[in-house]
Every structure is written in structure tokens, then in C-alpha cells.
Amino acid sequence: MSTQPRAIPDWPEIEISRAEQFQILDRRAREIEEITKTTWLELAELCVTMRDNQLWREGGYHSFNDWLKNSCPTARSTAYAAIGTLEQLTDISEHDLREIPPGNAHILAGVPKKQRNGKILKAAKSQTPQEFTATVIHEAPAGHIEQKICHKFRMTSSQSKILAAALDVWKMLNDDPNAPAEVALEGIVSDYMMSHQTEYEKKHRDQKSA
């Protein structure tokens, strides 16, 4: 793999000031931000229409998943996540949804319907996911939304393969092939703790009495 730094594209050979360069790039960055906000919604609506009307048959595909695997090979999980989020936010108008970025839309889906308005809906449109999570925890504790904590592990290739296989096994046994890795890992750990609870309690008692 090449270690050469990526070349920075040259500006067209026209005289523009640094201030003008800033204005051009800043404007484009803001345009991309707005596009990114609505892409998840467009993808979800497109997929729901394709699925519910079985339009995938017109392309000769065997199923909706077969079509999605072919049309969005690198974004299939993103598409399923977007569909799930959209189907949980049927009480939110399309106008409001278009102003909510995908990360916040996913968080909003976990908020009780009666509280998806006012301050929470406004925050979903403007805050970062971390900020919005904090707002939801404060304003809608009944939603049981939790802050995400990053855990970093340095695994060998063999350890990584075992983890990936374990996640796949859990997803299959629980009939949830699209479950996030975090959910599957939580399930595996919970299953392990429950299956060894009696053994743990006995060993803990023995150590205390020793």
C-alpha cells in the first residue's frame, strides 16, 4: 500500500484571494451538510416504496433484500437502519424529518411519542448526537436513552475472527441478522453472566469464607 500523502487538488488558474477561497469552501461544506441531513430519509422512503410495492420484481430480483444487496452493496445496513428509524417516526412530519440528521433521528426514535415535540424536536434538528442524547436523558428519562461509551480493544487477528463469529452466531440464534454489533455483544455477555451466575455466587461465597 502506498504511503505517499494524498495530493491536494489545485485550484483553477484564476486569481482569487484567500478570503474568496474560504467563502467558496465554506459555502460548499454547508451545502453538503444539508444534503447529508436528508439523504437517510430519501434512502428510507425509496426503499420502503420499493419493498411495499414489490417493485424489485420488475428488476428480476428474488426478494427486496436481494435487490438491496445488489443496489446498495456497501450501504445495505445503513438502508435497513434508515428504514427502521423512519417506521418508528411516523408521528413526525416529513418537513421536520428533513431537518434531522440520521444520528439524531435514530435517538429520537427511542423517545416516547408524547415527548417528541417542543424542546426535544428542536434539539434534534440542531444539536450533535452527543448533545442531543444529553438533552433527551434530561427531558425524557422515561425513554431510557443512554450515553454511548467508547471501549477500545487491541485484538490479534485470531481474536478478532472469534469475536466476529460469536456476533454472527448470536444474531442467527436470535433471528436478528441486522442487529448492531453492540447489541449482539451485550446479548453474548448477558448470556454468559446468567449461565454462570450460580457458579460465580458459590465461588464468591467460598472466597469470603476462606
Count Cβ atoms below 10 Å from residue 88 Cβ, excluding itself: 16
pLDDT of residue 145: 64
Question: Shortest CA distance to 136 belongs to which of 151, 148, 147, 149?
Answer: 147
Instruction: Judge contact between 76 and 68, C-beta under 8 A.
Output: yes
Q: What is the spatial distance between Cα 65 and Cα 71, in angstroms, rounded to a whole number?
A: 10
pLDDT of residue 144: 62
Q: Is 84 exposed, middle or buried (0-12, 13-18, 19+ CB in 10 A)?
A: middle
Q: In three state form, how does the secondary structure of 114-164 look?
A: HHCCHHHHHHHHHCCHHHHHHHHHHHCHHHCCCCCCCCCCCCCHHHHHHHH
Q: Is 82 exposed, middle or buried (0-12, 13-18, 19+ CB in 10 A)?
A: buried
Render each residue's pLDDT in the chain as its tens digit; 210 residues: 555 666 656 655 667 888 998 999 999 999 988 888 889 999 999 999 999 999 999 999 999 999 998 998 878 888 888 999 999 999 999 999 999 999 899 899 989 888 888 899 999 999 998 899 889 988 887 666 666 667 788 889 999 999 999 999 988 888 888 878 888 888 888 888 888 888 888 888 888 887
Write down the residue that cell numbers 477500545 correspond to: 152
Q: What is the spatial distance between Cα 72 and Cα 1, in angstroms, rounded to a whole number?
A: 27
C-alpha cell at 155: 485484538
pLDDT of residue 179: 79
Q: CB within 8 A of 98, min separation 6: which ones?
A: 37, 38, 41
